[in-house]
Structure 1
Amino acid sequence: MTNQAKTAYTLSELAEHVGGQVQGDGDVSISGVGTLSQATGQQISFLTNTKYKPQLSSTQAGAVILQPKMAGDSPVPGLLHNNPHAAFARIAQLFDTTPATADGIASSAVVASSASLGANVALGHNVIIEDNVVLGDNVVIGANTVVGKGAKIGEGSRIYPNVTIYHDVQIGKRVTIHSQSVIGADGFGFANDSGVWVPIPQTGTVLIGDDCSIGASTSIDRGAMDDTIIGNNVIIDNQVQIAHNCIVGDHSCICGSTGIAGSCHIGKYVIIGGGCGVNGHISICDKVQITGYTMVVQDITEPGVYSSGQPAMPNREWRKNAVRLRQIDALYDRVKALENKA
């Protein structure tokens, strides 16, 4: 949803907006964003990764966001900022052209008489709002989304089409949930009785804090008895599974195709890379980074970077290493025998 009041800004205006400094002509007019290699004279780009520094000398961008230490490297006007990526993000928001998820309340939307809708709520076609739902001001819900009984969605939140929000789920303010996501489905709770699986009712719910973003086709399960809790300003990528009774601390990031088993406690400012797996009943302390395709099988109690996934390598090298790995037991036995003789 876009509401920008202007279509172009001077570089000086953008610098004031993000708290940066101008290097060069502050009157350059900027009406969009682009990459260093593709931007035109009316667009602004940024540089943080030194891999792309060679593109800076030939960029056609109208301006580039840089760290102050790189002030002399840009052939075009610069916007100097200690965090160019964050500054770029805030500037890109000014030029966001994403269309509104919904506009007004569609005639095909179904709203229970007991539901409470705040000011300026927008509901797309075939949206279903069940009994006792509470929607805050400026909530926007896309077509075909279902909001179950007793759910609450805070002001300024945006729900894209085809999302399912189960009963009693509570979602904070300014939360974005993308299409096909399911919030509050039953956790995977069963007891085995002589080989027969007996379902355990999942009577908790899901609590999501403010300023969160949840990607497409992500599932966050409701708690078995206590609640599944997602803190404030947590960002969750596409196709992530968060099982029942997990707790995710404020400002954490979970990348795509990661699966987190039940009753995990993830701290604040944790970053989990794509394709990771986290065993159930594990605690991860604050300020941990887990690289892609890592399997976490025990508690992590110290901040730092953790890895277990094997990086790609030429097939011939991988095959040789696989053979060597199969021989490691025999090698161990030989070394042990030599140590005993000594």
Structure 2
Amino acid sequence: MTHAHTPAFTLEELAERLGATLIGDGRRRVTGLATLTEAGPEEITFLANRAYLKYLPETRAAAVLLHPGQAEECPTACLTLDNPYLGYAALSRLFDPLNGRRSPGIHPSAVVADGVALGRDVEIGPQAVIESGVSLGDGVVVGPGCMIGADSRIGADSRLHANVTVYHGVIIGERAILHSGCVIGADGFGFAHDGGGWHKIAQLGGVVLGDDVEVGSCSSIDRGALGDTLIGDDVKIDSQVQIAHNVQIGDHSALAGCVGIAGSTKVGRHCLLGGGVGLSGHLTICDGVQVTGMSLVTNSIHEPGVYSSGTGAMSNAQWRKNAVRFKQLDALAKRLARLEKAQESR
């Protein structure tokens, strides 16, 4: 799919930018990126999964980005890389219609308090509100309707899409991407109960996001009760994720949609949490842990590896039978123990 603002590249230029080996006419120009089955004669495509190899002979693309071992099967020009999926990621950024589309300056309808520090080439969109003491680094983009609370800091080249809310005292590193509707620094869920009702605990900490963090739409990262909620460098957070107060997430970890992490849990580096995963509070998850989708983690994990809980989908009739068996497990276990003990005494 091409866009009016999408640039065109020769295959030679793309090969140089990607560090790929070109096989074919380097002067041929492409104006877009598409799938293997949908790409036209002016577009480039990619092959990163062998499951799609069957579509390669019939592609109409001008060129295909693929592994060197698949070059002989390619019916058109190709760019070869050992990691074509990583190359696809780089291509996608080159053809991103937002790439290079910036209009530095402050929209007349934006409200910017006195004492706000603005770096070079900052863009502040319509109806944005920026409170006093805020610092925006060079090249920061603040989309329409965003709100940035007092004394927050946002690092260079970060982008806030429309209607992002950043509360007071939040620190965001460089090159962050915050998608629409996400909320950074709202109060953590802290209350004391006196036997009859709840009493709010003021949340006095903040939130610190490292460099290269991306937060999906409508996700929430709560501020700490006393210390800060800490999100490391290069952490990727999908949409509709809830991260509670004083959670810590290590560098290069990724959280898929609808993950929920309760307060004060620490997640290590290079961890992967599948969609709908829940982590109870005050846990420690070591580096290199992968938790598969819809799992509930109620105890700390101290060894790297893949962890799962729950049962996969099955027919309702089979599930109903299994549910009956679940209720019988304790009785069955006790019965088996008695039988084993009786057998040993013979």
TM-score (norm 2): 0.93
Aligned to 1:16: 16
Matched, 1:174 2:175: yes
Contact kept in structure 2, 1:36 and 1:56, CA below 8 Å: yes
How far apart, in 2, do the equivalents of 1:232 and 1:101 lie? 25
Contact kept in structure 2, 1:101 and 1:141, CA below 8 Å: no
Assess, with a 3 A threshold, how the Cα gap between structure 1 residues 26 and 312 changes in structure 2: closer, same or farther: farther
Deviates more, 1:73-82 or 1:85-94: 73-82
Residues 27-106 of structure 1 mapped to structure 2, 5 A cutoff: 27-98=27-98, 100=101, 104-106=105-107
Deviates more, 1:162-171 or 1:24-33: 24-33
Please report how far the alpha carbon of residue 279 of structure 1 lies from its aligned counterpart in structure 2 after TM superposition: 0.7
Aligned to 1:339: 340
Please report how far the alpha carbon of residue 105 of structure 1 lies from its aligned counterpart in structure 2 after TM superposition: 1.2
Aligned to 1:138: 139
Matched, 1:191 2:192: yes
Assess, with a 3 A threshold, how the Cα gap between structure 1 residues 325 and 5 changes in structure 2: closer, same or farther: closer
For structure 2, which runs of at least 5 residues remain unmatched after alignment?
A: none
How far apart, in 1, do the equivalents of 2:321 and 2:44 lie? 48
Assess, with a 3 A threshold, how the Cα gap between structure 1 residues 31 and 311 changes in structure 2: closer, same or farther: same
Which amino acid is the alignment partner of residue 53 of structure 1?
L
How far apart, in 2, do the equivalents of 1:101 and 1:21 lie? 32
Aligned to 2:159: 158
For structure 1, which runs of at least 5 residues remain unmatched after alignment?
A: none
Please report how far the alpha carbon of residue 302 of structure 1 lies from its aligned counterpart in structure 2 after TM superposition: 1.5
Aligned to 1:215: 216
Aligned to 2:313: 312
Deviates more, 1:92-101 or 1:189-198: 92-101
Please report how far the alpha carbon of residue 6 of structure 1 lies from its aligned counterpart in structure 2 after TM superposition: 7.6
Please report how far the alpha carbon of residue 47 of structure 1 lies from its aligned counterpart in structure 2 after TM superposition: 1.6
Q: Deviations over 1:34-92 (max 9, x none)?
A: 01111111111112222222111211111111122222222222211111111111112
Deviates more, 1:13-22 or 1:192-201: 192-201
2:96 partner SS: coil
Contact kept in structure 2, 1:206 and 1:228, CA below 8 Å: yes
CA RMSD after TM alignment: 1.8
Assess, with a 3 A threshold, how the Cα gap between structure 1 residues 284 and 76 changes in structure 2: closer, same or farther: same
Contact kept in structure 2, 1:268 and 1:286, CA below 8 Å: yes
Aligned to 2:227: 226
Deviates more, 1:164-173 or 1:51-60: 51-60
TM-score (norm 1): 0.94
1:321 partner SS: helix
Aligned to 1:251: 252
Aligned to 1:206: 207
Please report how far the alpha carbon of residue 103 of structure 1 lies from its aligned counterpart in structure 2 after TM superposition: 5.3
How far apart, in 2, do the equivalents of 1:209 and 1:305 lie? 26
Assess, with a 3 A threshold, how the Cα gap between structure 1 residues 44 and 311 changes in structure 2: closer, same or farther: farther
How far apart, in 1, do the equivalents of 2:102 and 2:269 lie? 31
Contact kept in structure 1, 2:260 and 2:278, CA below 8 Å: yes
Aligned residues: 339
Which amino acid is the alignment partner of residue 34 of structure 2?
G
Contact kept in structure 1, 2:104 and 2:121, CA below 8 Å: no
Q: Deviations over 1:205-263 (max 9, x none)?
A: 00011111110000000011110111111110000001111111111111100001111
Please report how far the alpha carbon of residue 102 of structure 1 lies from its aligned counterpart in structure 2 after TM superposition: 6.2
Deviates more, 1:137-146 or 1:42-51: 42-51
Assess, with a 3 A threshold, how the Cα gap between structure 1 residues 53 and 263 changes in structure 2: closer, same or farther: same
How far apart, in 1, do the equivalents of 2:324 and 2:50 lie? 38
Identity of aligned residues (%): 48
Which amino acid is the alignment partner of residue 224 of structure 1?
A
Q: Deviations over 1:257-314 (max 9, x none)?
A: 0001111111111111111000111111112111111111111111111111422223
Please report how far the alpha carbon of residue 28 of structure 1 lies from its aligned counterpart in structure 2 after TM superposition: 2.9
Q: Deviations over 1:180-204 (max 9, x none)?
A: 1110011111122223222111111
